[in-house]
Amino acid sequence: MLHLRVVVPEELADDVLELLQQEPAACNLIHMPGVARKPDGDVILVDLAREDASVVLADRRELEVHRHGSIAVEQVDFQISEHMERVIDIAPGSPADAVVWEEVEARTSESAELNWSFVLFMVLAGLIASVGILLDSPILVVGAMVVGPEFGPIAGFAVAIVERRPGLALRSFGALAVGFPVAIGAVTLAVLVFQWIDVSPENFDASSHALSDSIANPDFFAFFVAFCAGVAGVLSLTAAKSGALIGVLISVTTIPAAANIGVAAAYGEWSDAAGSLGQLVVNIAALLLAGTLTLAVSRGLYGRRRRRHERMSPGRSPRAAVTASERPRSSDRRRHP
């Protein structure tokens, strides 16, 4: 179940209440007139079956509640109510498989943003991976893969493609275009320092390090694993199953590939650096392709559900189709009682 807190102008409150009263997937509807400040308006609370959350939220967006008020959504961890259980049973599908598109958009928009924390995590992940590569330690490399935040912008780019959001695509691309080069540069500088203080091997080549050799030689299986991980990663985001995302992060070699580029560059092994760059490109391309295809299928299924929802709600108020510009404002009502 999801809990919605809707702050809505007085002139829109009746429309929102009418839609929620007609919605089989809604329960525990509470209306508190005139209690909201900044912005002023009514507060409406309602519990909603996760399966129909996106279609119901889409109805609210048609009323432009998000422009003149706000909609806050919280996850209900558990409920003790037979009535709520009946509402969940009425909603078609399984809550575990339900996709709340507004949640996906919010999560990917936040994780796709280029900021200092994203760059710092990229650098730290690259440095950890570089030590793992130098020591041929799979544990350190796996740890670096978990630390790396690169899947967020990749998922954000996939969402941007499916939903045709150029702003999100530019932010996602910017995060990747800055994060990876900075991480590679940091690794190269760190390995040069390691050489200078004489704590790293005097010579390094991929053939004598199994991890580096596998990273520098991408093949079909590298693409296949990254593609499967991309599907799993997007499913973990859309189904809000963060546990699966950890497995995704340790399945792809984006961070190890970036780190191997820096290590090879510091040692002048340019063929290994080129192979690692190929591995990085293959992984990112596979993740993007898998994520975009998975989201496109999910979006298509949501479109069918949305159309079915509209067909099964013939009694929806015709006022839902009225734009905000056609509705009287509360100030107009005061002037013209």
pLDDT of residue 94: 62
Closest CA to 263 of 201, 179, 219, 217: 201
Confidence class for position 66, pLDDT limits 50, 70, 90 = confident
Q: Which of 2.40.128, 3.10.20, 1.20.120, 3.30.70 would CATH assign to domain 2-98?
A: 3.30.70
Q: What is the mean pLDDT of the chain?
A: 81
Closest CA to 105 of 158, 38, 159, 171: 159
pLDDT of residue 325: 41
pTM: 0.76
Tokens of 137: 């330690």
SS3 content of the chain, % helix, strand, coil (to 5): 70, 10, 20
CB 6 within 8 A of CB 44: yes
Indicate if the pLDDT at residue 318 is higher than 50.
no
Weakest mean pLDDT among 2-11, 38-47, 74-83, 221-230 = 74-83
Query: Residues 15-54: pLDDT tens digits?
Result: 888 888 888 778 889 999 999 988 889 999 988 887 777 7
| Position with higher pLDDT, 240 vs 174 | 174
pLDDT of residue 180: 96
Weakest mean pLDDT among 9-13, 219-223, 233-237, 307-311 = 307-311
Query: Residues 88-109: pLDDT tens digits?
Result: 776 666 655 566 767 777 777 6
pLDDT of residue 205: 75
Considering only CA atoms, give the Rg of the chain. 25
Residue 337's SS3 state is: coil
CA distance 242 to 253: 19
pLDDT of residue 98: 62
User: How many residues appear in the chain?
Assistant: 337
Say how far residue 266 (Cα) sits from the centre of its chain.
35
User: Structural domain boundaries of the chain?
Assistant: 2-98, 104-301
pLDDT of residue 324: 41
Task: Please give the angle made by the CA atoms of 208, 128 and 254, to the nearest 5 degrees.
Answer: 75
Interacting residues of 198 by C-beta distance below 8 A, sequence separation 6+: none
The partner residues of 167 in beta bridges, in order of sequence, read none
pLDDT of residue 168: 87
CA distance 184 to 276: 11
Q: Which residue in this structure is represented by tokens 């009425």?
A: 90
Q: Which residue in this structure is represented by tokens 């990749």?
A: 154
Query: Residues 112-155: pLDDT tens digits?
Result: 778 899 999 999 999 999 999 999 898 999 999 988 889 889 98
Tokens of 264: 């090879």
Query: Residues 185-217: pLDDT tens digits?
Result: 999 999 999 999 988 888 887 777 788 888 988
Tokens of 262: 């820096």
